[in-house]
């Protein structure tokens, strides 16, 4: 760490990307900037590495991934401190993030064979003489474009699945957190020194475009919806498949039989952890009328104890401060009330916890992703109204429901990829569950069985095991055999009279 620069703004100097702390401006580190040729070269090297890595088989990859997991666990404090230095996130929060990433690596390594290994599949009437076999083959080289808000957990969710499936990975970390990204690559190289199975390419947004066009076989992207569309457009040029995990505007529904204290604690955590810079963060709450007042009071009491510079870190991207201020101002100008914080909450580089009520449903604070430590709380007549309003935005990433008798039924009705019942954000820590959204929140899944399958192609193989009992797929079939086929189909599938 040497110079002090403009807080949070990455700088380019002499072919290097210089990363700075968003609160202090202290330099966190320097990484080389990749031009288009360097990205193409990295992908070419990854292709050779991918063949070697796939050849290790499930057991060989498992051994090395578990070794990487152990390195991260052994040095988790170092990773937490580096994340705090570069992104401003409290080190304790970074440790929680790293713990979840470690568990995802462990799960992917241990479950890849079960999910992706070859298996026999039962045949059907027309092809009884053939046995069916299914296997999943790695794509080859997977490009991962990661975000700055969770620079460990979010990319590792894709990276661990891609590696466990047998792919090599070229990783473009956010320009706001390149040092953490390079640290992940370097620690992996300590346990897999033979080939460049996991590489990083650094730079501003254009480097992500280079990666999409460099011949990778699939891209996993996490970031804003607007950038996700650009990634899709670039990948469409070569029909490169993509996984898009984009923005969110997640809602919590608090039903009449909810534990109010627990719901308030979860709303504050879900809305304000990481200074609200969480794609699956709770930004809207719909509380039914009988518990609304008590819930608002509990949220204000709990959120009012949080301090900027301690539990609430800085806003990583300086321009996001303008977005947060615009949302708060719009809500208040249109009749909303700040029961905690307000216009004065935005004091660069921090935003104090802000709780808004009586905010119109068509306001920016309700419709657009805020990405700051703010909550809107709206009174509704019942859970039906809450679900209708929760589903009225174009996003559909995660959500939360608090209640007893009907909580799971309410959760099923929410238009989202994930829902936590009587908690917030819990699904992201469960490596068994798929993670991803619908609508403007993207498509595709990481984590869990579905996430592993995203990083491998299904390959079907049929093998003849004897003569055809009812020849169908041949020009040599006879009229008598066709009649036998008709008789068989009617016997098995026609309506019984």
Of 86, 97, 175, 279, which is the active-site residue?
A: 279
Task: List the end-to-end C-alpha distance of the chain, in Å, as a whole number.
Answer: 83
Kindly report the CA angle at 389 between 387 and 394, in degrees rounded to 5?
A: 105
**DSSP 8-state symbol, 495:** P
**Tokens describing residue 92:** 């304790």
Q: Of 426, 451, 458, 456, nearest to 222 (Cα)?
A: 451
Of 86, 245, 283, 454, which is the active-site residue?
A: 245
List, in order, residues 6 or more apart from 322 with CB less than 8 Å away.
Answer: none
Which secondary-structure segment (H or E) carries 105?
helix 91-116
Name the burial class of residue 465, with classes exposed (0-12), middle (13-18) and buried (19+) by CB atoms within 10 angstroms of its CB: exposed
Report the distance separating Cα 493 and Cα 495, nearest Å.
Answer: 7
**Helical ranges in 165-224 per DSSP H:** 178-191, 205-212
Rounded to 10°, the helix 178-191/153-164 angle is: 30
How far CA 334 is from CA of 361, 381, 394, in Å, comes to 11, 22, 22
Report the distance separating Cα 30 and Cα 146, nearest Å.
Answer: 18
Q: Is 279 a catalytic residue?
A: yes
349: preceding bond cis by omega (within 30 degrees): yes
Q: Of 409, 454, 410, nearest to 435 (Cα)?
A: 454
Q: Of 411, 416, 417, 425, nearest to 445 (Cα)?
A: 417
Q: Is 245 a catalytic residue?
A: yes
- Centroid of chain to Cα 456: 18
Q: Catalytic amino acids?
A: 245, 279
């Amino acid at each position: 760490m040497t110079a002090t620069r403009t807080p949070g703004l990455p700088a380019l100097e002499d072919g290097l990307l210089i990363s700075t702390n968003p609160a202090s401006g202290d330099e966190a580190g320097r990484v080389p900037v990749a031009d288009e040729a360097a990205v193409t070269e990295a992908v070419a090297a990854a292709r050779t590495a991918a063949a070697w890595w796939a050849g290790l088989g499930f057991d060989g990859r498992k051994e090395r991934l578990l070794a990487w997991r152990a390195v991260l666990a052994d040095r988790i404090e170092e990773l937490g401190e580096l994340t705090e230095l570069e992104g401003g996130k409290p080190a304790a929060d970074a440790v929680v993030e790293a713990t979840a990433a470690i568990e995802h690596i462990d799960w992917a390594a241990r479950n890849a064979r079960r999910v992706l290994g070859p298996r026999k599949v039962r045949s059907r009437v027309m092809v009884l003489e053939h046995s069916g076999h299914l296997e999943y083959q790695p794509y080859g080289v997977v490009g991962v474009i990661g975000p700055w808000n969770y620079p460990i957990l979010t990319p590792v969710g894709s990276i661990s699945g891609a590696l466990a499936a047998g792919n090599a990975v070229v990783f473009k970390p956010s320009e706001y957190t390149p040092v953490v990204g390079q640290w992940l690559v370097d620690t992996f190289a300590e346990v897999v020194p033979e080939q460049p199975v996991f590489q990083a390419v650094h730079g501003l947004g254009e480097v992500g475009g280079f990666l999409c066009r460099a011949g990778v076989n699939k891209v996993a992207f996490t970031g804003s919806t607007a950038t996700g569309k650009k990634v899709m457009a670039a990948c469409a040029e070569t029909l490169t498949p993509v996984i898009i995990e984009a923005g969110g505007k997640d809602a919590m529904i608090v039903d009449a039989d909810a534990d109010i204290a627990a719901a308030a604690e979860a709303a504050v955590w879900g809305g304000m952890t990481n200074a609200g810079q969480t794609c699956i963060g709770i930004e809207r709450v719909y509380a039914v009328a009988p518990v609304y007042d008590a819930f608002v009071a509990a949220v204000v009491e709990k959120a009012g104890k949080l301090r900027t510079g301690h539990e609430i870190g800085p806003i990583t991207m300086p321009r996001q401060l303008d977005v947060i201020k615009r949302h708060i101002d719009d809500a208040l100008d249109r009749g909303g009330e700040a029961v905690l914080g307000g216009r004065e909450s935005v004091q660069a580089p921090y935003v104090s916890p802000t709780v808004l009520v009586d905010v119109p449903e068509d306001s920016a604070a309700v419709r657009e992703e805020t990405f700051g430590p703010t909550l809107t709380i709206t009174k509704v007549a019942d859970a039906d109204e809450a679900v209708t309003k929760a589903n009225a935005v174009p996003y559909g990433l995660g959500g939360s429901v608090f209640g007893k008798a009907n909580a799971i039924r309410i959760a099923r009705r929410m238009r989202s990829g994930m829902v936590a019942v009587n908690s917030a954000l819990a699904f992201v820590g469960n490596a068994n569950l798929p993670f991803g959204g619908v609508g403007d929140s993207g498509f595709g899944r990481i984590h869990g069985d579905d996430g592993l399958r995203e990083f491998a192609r299904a390959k079907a193989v049929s093998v003849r095991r004897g003569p055809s009992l009812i020849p169908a797929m041949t020009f040599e079939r006879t009229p008598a055999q066709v009649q036998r086929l008709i008789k068989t189909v009617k016997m098995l599938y026609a309506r019984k009279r």
